[in-house]
Amino acid sequence: MVRQDLCIVHIGMPKTGSTTLQESFFSGIADPRVAYGSLPHPNQSGWLYSLFTKQHQDYHFLHGLNLSDPKDLNDFIYETRKSLVGGFSRKKNSIELLSGEDLFHLDIAGIQGLRIFLDEYFEKTLIVAYVRPLKSFIESAFQQLVKYHGCGSFSFNGFYHPFKNFKRYDDVFGAENVLLWRFRPATFPEGDIVLDFCNRLQLQPMRAKNKIVNEAISREAVSILFCYHYHQNGKTDFGPHQAKVNHLLVEALRGIGREKFRFSRALVRRVIEEFRDDYEWMLQRLEGFDRETETDEADDGFGSAEELLDYSTGCIGDLLGLVDTREMNFALVNQNHPQTVARLVDLLAVQLHKKSISR
């Protein structure tokens, strides 16, 4: 088949507006030269990553599809490749666009496989990504872990994503074909990341079809959930319903507090020091990418697990307003204690679960 002119592969990074971009691309691209890869979901991460990784047993997306049987996995990969290639050949566009932020985590062998695959169908490939300042990124990543992944520790490795993941793409595709852009929503034209994306790549302008609402929760809600996960031994196991219960808890706590979650400058400095080589590589790779971290004057953030646990006790009154206290099987003896917070959250989780299965 005749190769198309260009494939643009958007690889994230995480927490940089990927959902807004993907929803807009999936619902239709304004530029007639451009098509969005022939896959069944706006976020193509699961399909693309599965196609090129060799670490299938560790990939959460495949676990969710229950593809533990080798034959089922091979069939899924075969159908994914067939769908992509079929789309390349059927469509009359000259530019193909793919997007999946999980590709940010692809290892060097997977990236080499990606290049071999794309070289067969395209004259040129561009890798593109937005890069978020370190402080706001780790704050957002930590919050996501607390909300949906049971995080109850301040392990830097858990919420720091190595910037040198981009170096793998530089090494395979050449740095001149890897475009990294600062993620600064305040500078986007009309505040629109889709319009910014199109302008940077000289595509016909289009705007976001749906503005994705900021999913952040308050520092109060983060502290409550962190406290709950910190006290692992007191948590009810909801088995296959755990993900749903996590979501219900987040939504129930969304109304508590108004303050933004922040890390302290001291903690951010410790993170930078621990990953100094990686961080300085990014400083060299993208000029000025981290001005926000370097100039942030606010220092009302958390620097340790103990500070977050202590802070959560100020929310006990709010929690009592959310639970049915008639079902409490414990007394609030030492009321201002993190264990009290954990017990109340677990009670709330049990009550939310009961309501959800009774509907």
- Using alpha carbons, select from 272, 255, 252, 254 the residue that is nearest to residue 264: 272
Query: What pLDDT is stored for residue 65 in this prediction?
Result: 87
Q: Does the structure show a pLDDT above 90 at 188?
A: yes
What is the pLDDT at residue 291? 78
Mean pLDDT along residues 110-129: 97
Burial string for 170-195 (b: 16+ CB within 10 Å, else e) reads bebbeeebbbbebbbeeebeeebbbb
Note the CATH number of domain 4-143+160-200.
3.40.50
**pLDDT band at residue 216 under the 50/70/90 scheme:** confident
Give the pLDDT of residue 73.
Answer: 93
Rounded Cα distance between 131 and 134, Å, is: 9
- Torsion sign over Cα 214, 132, 272, 293: negative
Say which residue the tokens 């402080």 belong to: 135
Over residues 282-306, the pLDDT tens digits come to: 999 998 888 777 665 567 799 999 9
Residue predicted with more confidence, 209 or 73: 73
Q: Which amino acid is at 115?
A: R
pLDDT digit string, tens, across residues 140-184: 999 999 999 999 999 999 899 999 999 999 999 999 999 999 999
Q: Summarize the confidence of residues 236-244 as an average pLDDT.
A: 91
Delimit the domains of the chain by residue range: 4-143+160-200, 219-261+302-358
Q: What percent of the chain is modeled with pLDDT above 70?
A: 96
pLDDT at 333: 60
Q: Can you tell me the distance from the alpha carbon of 71 to that of 64, in angstroms, rounded to the nearest whole number? A: 16
| Span 16-74, pLDDT tens digits | 999 999 999 999 999 999 999 999 999 999 999 999 999 888 888 888 888 878 899 99
